[in-house]
Every structure is written in C-alpha cells, then in structure tokens.
Structure 1
C-alpha cells in the first residue's frame, strides 16, 4: 500500500469521535508535543475511560517513519479524524 498523503496535501479534520480501523487520524507526537503526526488507525481499545488506538504508518520503511511500534498506543482524546484530503495542485509549465 502506498501512502495516502503526499507532500503538500491539505487536510480537513474534525476533533473527537471514536477511532475506527483504517481511519486517518491527526495527533500530537507522544515523544515531541510540538510535532503533529498523521497515521492510520490499526487496532482500537475502548473502555469507560475512553479509547486508545494503534497508530500505523502507511510506509513504515520510509526514513524517519514512526508509529505505535516505537511510541505505543495513542489516546483518542485530543486526536482529529481526517474527513477530507485536498491534493496539492500540480502546476504545468
């Protein structure tokens, strides 16, 4: 599977909601809160205290790729669900 997003693509997101397998979610990097990550949802675990999800990379072999294999499961609280992707315009010369 190739990555769903390319350089320069824009996203429209909605905060909250229960993560579902296969969704794209935006959330703060658990290791560096100044950076945001966009990842695909793997497994989801829900309880009375909320939901957590496994964040998976579409391209795990890419340089610098990080996902739940490195930083663990992610809280759904404070994450955003991607509802629309805007492709970067390709200009012709």
Structure 2
C-alpha cells in the first residue's frame, strides 16, 4: 500500500507540474480572473481523472507525453464544472 501511495503522490506532483505549464500567463487575463482560475485549479484534489487517463495510455502502449495535454484539459474542465455548478445562476 505504501508503494501505491508513493506512486500516486508522484503522479499528482507530475500532473500539478504539467497543469502549471498549461495555465495561461498572468497578463492574459485581468488579475482577479487569473487568481480565481489558479485558486480553483490548485486548491487541491486527487487528480484521479488525469491519473487514470495517463495510466490507461501507458497500459495500452501509448506515449504518456502525448496524452498529457488531454489529461490536463480534462482536469481543467472538471474544475470548471465544479465551480460553475455551484453558481446560483446555473441552477
């Protein structure tokens, strides 16, 4: 179990690093928008969706590096959906 936790933590760190690379530059949005995006995306999480996508890619012999943009996009869309689902106007 320790090995699995260690490996998952390594995956999470890898995904976090890649998410930072795909975040837009701070000057591309008004500061309040950029801060809200960063706060929401990096507020913590298990990162299960991108982890499963990358693991599935490796399991079938795919190139993990080619799948990273899709894994990060999926996590960003998931985060977006969580935030927007909680907005009163979206009910």
TM-score interval for Structure 1 and Structure 2 normalised by the shorter chain: under 0.3
TM-score (norm 2): 0.23
Tell me which protein shows more helix as a share of its residues: 2
Larger RCO (CA under 8 A, 6+ residues apart): 1
Tell me which protein shows more strand as a share of its residues: 1
